[in-house]
Amino acid sequence: MTSIDALAQKVRTLSGHLAAALADPLSAAEANALSYLQRIEQLVNLELQGREKNRLAMNLRKAGFPVIKRLEEFDDRHQTTITKRQVSQLLDFRFLDERANLVFIGPPGVGKTHLAIGIGLNALEAGDKVLFTTALALVETLELAELKGELKKKIASLLKFDLLIIDELGALVQFNLERKTKKSGS
C-alpha cells in the first residue's frame, strides 16, 4: 500500500495544486463525512481551479495590459457617447464572433482606454486570447518584422488572438504628421 507521503510526492510531479490539497486527505474525508469518491472529486476540482487560475494569470501577462481597469470601476460621468447598456451589450462578445471592429473615438480623458481594457479583461476571463498594444508599438513591431523578412510570421502570430486592442491611434497619426513635416522641411 502506498503511503500518503509517497503519493503526495508523486502528485507533486504532476501539479502543485493537487499536492497541496493532499496534506491529510483521510482525516479531511472523515471530518467532513465524505466518501472517498467525494474527496477525490474535491481534489480534482481543486486541481482544475488551480489550472484555470494559472491559465488566466498567463493570458493576463501575455495580454500586455498597461494597467488593470475593470468596467465596474468606469466613471461614466465624463462619457456621454456610450451608455452602460451599450457597454453591457458588448460583453456578449458577439462582435468577436462577427469579426467586427470596435472603435472608441473621443478627446483625452473620457475613458476610451479604460473601456477597451475592461472589455479585454472580460474577454480574457471568458476564455478569449487578448493582446493590448499601442498603434505606434504595433507599427514598429510590424516594420521590424518586415525588415527581418518575418512579416507573414508576425501577422500569423497576431491572428492567434481573438481580440486585438490597439490604443492611441491618435498618437500614431500625430507621429506620422510630425515625421512627414520633418522630411518635407529638411
The count of structural domains within the chain is: 2
Task: Map residue 51 onto helix, strand or coil.
Answer: helix
- Do residues 79 and 54 both lie within one domain? no
Burial 140-159 (b: 16+ CB within 10 A, else e): eeeeebeeeeeeeebeeeee
- Do residues 14 and 55 both lie within one domain? yes
The average pLDDT across 142-157 equals 96
The average pLDDT across 115-122 equals 95
- Do residues 77 and 46 both lie within one domain? no
In the predicted structure, residue 71 carries a pLDDT above the cut 80: yes
- Do residues 43 and 130 both lie within one domain? no
In the predicted structure, residue 167 carries a pLDDT above the cut 60: yes
In which domain, by residue range, is 134 found?
71-185
Read off the pTM: 0.73
User: Which of 27, 25, 125, 149 lies closest to 72 in space, CA to CA?
Assistant: 125
Task: Give the H/E segment covering residue 164.
Answer: strand 163-167
- Do residues 154 and 99 both lie within one domain? yes
- Do residues 57 and 103 both lie within one domain? no
Residue 124's pLDDT is what?
95
- Do residues 47 and 77 both lie within one domain? no
- Do residues 45 and 106 both lie within one domain? no
In the predicted structure, residue 28 carries a pLDDT above the cut 80: no
For the ranges 12-26, 72-86, 114-128, the lowest mean pLDDT is seen at: 12-26
In the predicted structure, residue 84 carries a pLDDT above the cut 70: yes
Q: How confident is the model at residue 174 (pLDDT cuts 50, 70, 90)?
A: low
Which residues sit opposite 165 in a β-bridge?
132
- Do residues 158 and 141 both lie within one domain? yes
